[in-house]
Structures are given as C-alpha cells and as structure tokens.
Amino acid sequence: MPASEDLLKRLGVDIDSETLRLALTHRSYAYEHGGIPTNERLEFLGDSVLGFTVTEYLYERYPDLPEGDLAKRRAAVVSTRALARVARDLELGQFVYLGQGEKLTNGADKSSILADTTEALIGATFLSLGIETAKAMVLRLIAPLIEEVETLGAGTDWKTAIQEVAAARKLGQIQYVVEGSGPDHARVFVATLTIGGTSYGSGSGPSKKEAEQEAAASSWRLLNPDSADSARA
C-alpha cells in the first residue's frame, strides 16, 4: 500500500493527492525545493475548522457549563500537546515532507510540527470533502481527548491533576525521575513518577516536559481506575 493511502486509511478520509501532499509539506522542505507552497495556509484553515468543531460539540454536549469551563475544555483538546499526541497515535511523522535540517534534528517527532501538520490535514479535508466530513474526522480523532477532559473536569494538565489527587489522599511528596537516551538530535526521555517514595506510572517523549506529562497521566489512571475505564468506554 502506498504511504499516502496508508495515511488516508488511518484518517478515514479520501483527500485528493495534490491537496494531501501540500498538507504534508513543511516549510523546511519547501525552502530546500525552490520555494514551493507549504502547508501553512492549510494549517490556518484547519485551525479554524478544528476550533469551530470542538466549540460546537462542547456547546451542545454541556448545555449547563459556563463559558469559562467550556473555554478551558476547548483549550485542552486543541493545544499543541494534544494535537501532537493525536499525530503520534497516527504515526504521522513518517509522512511529513521535511528538509534535511529538520530530519537531522528529529523534526518528525517535534510536537509543533506534528500539531501544525494535523491542522493542515483538517484544512485539506475541508477543501477536498467539505465541512461535514472535516468535522466528522475532527471528532473521530479528538473524541478520546474530550473524554479525558470530561473525566478531569475543568482540568487541562495531568501534572496538576495528579497533584490534586496526591494532596487529597495525603499520599506524600511527588517526584519525577527523568532519564534521557539517544543522540542529541533524537533524544528520548523516560519519566517515572513517585509519590511518597512509591513508583507509579511512567511515560516517554521527545522532551522532559512531555515525558513527565505522560507519567502523570499514567499515574492518574492507576489511582483512578474506575474513572479511567469510563473515559475509555
């Protein structure tokens, strides 16, 4: 199966080949190939489709929530970190056209590039297939994150959430043990969360911050198994 068809299968849409290639063209690649068009205009378009879709969904799903809480929930699922997580689940990095400099610095796993490309793909879906198909794709990709935010309430940060749980249950001091490995251009960090000297969840990522967030999320699920199960249902 060609790479483009594999990606479209993961997205569940059928974007035309020209628009798809544009959506995957990072500016570093475009610069090295004579200044061809980049995905930045599609990213701009996709950002608007994403924001509107999530806003409409939250407005209809939570009729009693005040504006401030709706805004926090929206921010949680349209953030760079959230979109990069969606992209990693899709293994999107392998499909992005990057310049040599970005390739050497592991650009295929940079959260900013992954998030921007995800938005560009949303914009490409809108252009190729219309607003309803684009909205359906957004909700399909983002729904798991919305469910997690619902479980956390207005919380948008796993590290904050785990601090609140640890304090409420008087579990002790929180500490993150982080180790890095690999060459400078492709470092991978693994974080383990300990509370009161007991190890809980661990997580990995291209930065210490992301590894700690994943460790906090994993630990939160271990401490709240019933809520975690309902969020996945």
d(CA 16, CA 48): 21
* H or E element in which residue 232 lies: helix 225-232
Per the residue annotation, which of 102, 109, 119, 148 is the catalytic one? Answer: 119
147 is annotated as contributing to ligand binding: no
32 is annotated as contributing to ligand binding: no
206: nearest Cα among 192, 182, 189: 189
193, two tokens: 């969360």
89 is annotated as contributing to ligand binding: no
Whether 119 is a known active-site residue: answer: yes
Q: Give the contacts of 70 (CB within 8 A, at least 6 positions apart).
A: 55, 58, 59, 62
Whether 47 is a known active-site residue: answer: yes
Phi, psi of 40 (to 5 degrees): -70, -35
Three-class secondary structure of residue 110 per DSSP: coil
Q: At CA 175, angle to CA 171 and CA 180, rounded to 5?
A: 150
Phi, psi of 154 (to 5 degrees): -80, -5
Per the residue annotation, which of 14, 32, 40, 47 is the catalytic one? Answer: 47
Q: Are 117 and 87 in contact (CB under 8 A)?
A: yes
Binding residues for Mg(2+): 43, 116, 119
Binding residues: 43, 116, 119
Residues labelled catalytic: 47, 119
